[in-house]
Amino acid sequence: MEISNNKVVQIHYTGKLTDGTVFDSSEGREALEFIFGSGMIIPGLEEGLAGMKATEKKTVEIGFEKAYGPVQEQAKQEVPKAQMPEGIELQVGMQLAAQGPQGQPMPVTVAEIKDETVVMDFNHPLAGKDLVFEVEVVEVREATKEELEHGHTHPEGESCGSEEASEDKKEE
Ligand code: ZN
């Protein structure tokens, strides 16, 4: 079965920057499972995976436009030092967890430290970066009707127990 829209796909992957630095990998973890075509993974990776079959391997090179997008200057915000969490010695490049609009954790990076304020960068840490993914397709199967309604996968065929379909609920 080939990877196409509304298939449930499992992959093992290693994501690298173009200089070879590994930023994420499924090695030692369970394979990443997602519904293909639903925007759960970055667009460039979906394009690279389309048409692949189980056990196939591939190296997918992805320009930043089809990964995490360009760095946006307006995503940098100056925050008064008094509003920063206490007990943290701030350093440029340090990552903190802020809370996103839906309460989800969002990584932010300390971009600059001024006298009274700190410039926080809300860009994705991989914004503006070209990426290289080494992927291996583990499994391709049809999504069940329930999975498509929920917008996420049900590993091992077990339902998540949720009656309410929630588009933005993410599964670990
Ligand atoms: Zn569900």
Give the mean pLDDT of 140-164: 86
Tokens 């946006």 sit on residue: 72
What CATH class is the domain 7-68+127-153?
alpha beta
Q: Domain spans of the chain?
A: 7-68+127-153, 73-121
Distance from Cα 143 to the centre of ligand 1, integer Å:
12
The CATH architecture assigned to 73-121 reads: Beta Barrel (2.40)
Kindly give the distance from the C-alpha atom of residue 35 to the centroid of ligand 1, in angstroms, as a whole number.
Answer: 12
Q: Measure 103 CA to ligand 1 centroid, in angstroms.
A: 20
> Cα(141) to centroid of ligand 1, in Å?
17
Q: Give me the chain's average pLDDT, please.
A: 91
Q: Please tell me the predicted confidence (pLDDT) of residue 158.
A: 80
For residues 125 and 148, what is the distance between their CA atoms, to the nearest angstrom? 30
Q: Give residue 165 CA to ligand 1 midpoint distance, Å.
A: 7
- For 110-124, what is the mean pLDDT? 94
Q: 73-121: same fold as 7-68+127-153? A: no
3-state secondary structure at position 81: helix
pLDDT band (50, 70, 90) for residue 104: confident
User: Which residue bears the tokens 């990964």?
Assistant: 67
pLDDT tens-digit series, residues 24-82: 999 999 999 999 999 999 999 999 999 999 999 999 999 999 999 999 999 999 999 98
pLDDT band at 86 (very low <50, low <70, confident <90, very high): confident
Q: Which helix (H) or strand (E) holds 40?
A: none
User: Quick one: DSSP state of residue 124?
Assistant: -
Q: Tell me how far apart the alpha carbons of residues 172 and 169 are, in angstroms, rounded to a whole number.
A: 10
Q: Residues 61, 20: contact at Cβ < 8 Å?
A: no
Q: For position 168, what pLDDT does the model report?
A: 53
The answer to whether 145 touches 104, Cβ cutoff 8 Å, is: no
* Pure H helices in the chain: 43-49, 145-150
Give the DSSP letter of residue 63. Answer: -
Residue 48: its pLDDT value, please?
Answer: 98
Q: If you measure from the C-alpha of residue 102 to the centroid of ligand 1, how many angstroms do you get, rounded to a whole number?
A: 19
* CA 160 to centroid of chain Cα atoms: 21
Q: Is 159 within 8 Å of 86 (Cβ atoms)? A: no
Distance 75 CA to ligand 1 centre (A): 33
User: Separation of 118 CA from ligand 1 center, angstroms?
Assistant: 40
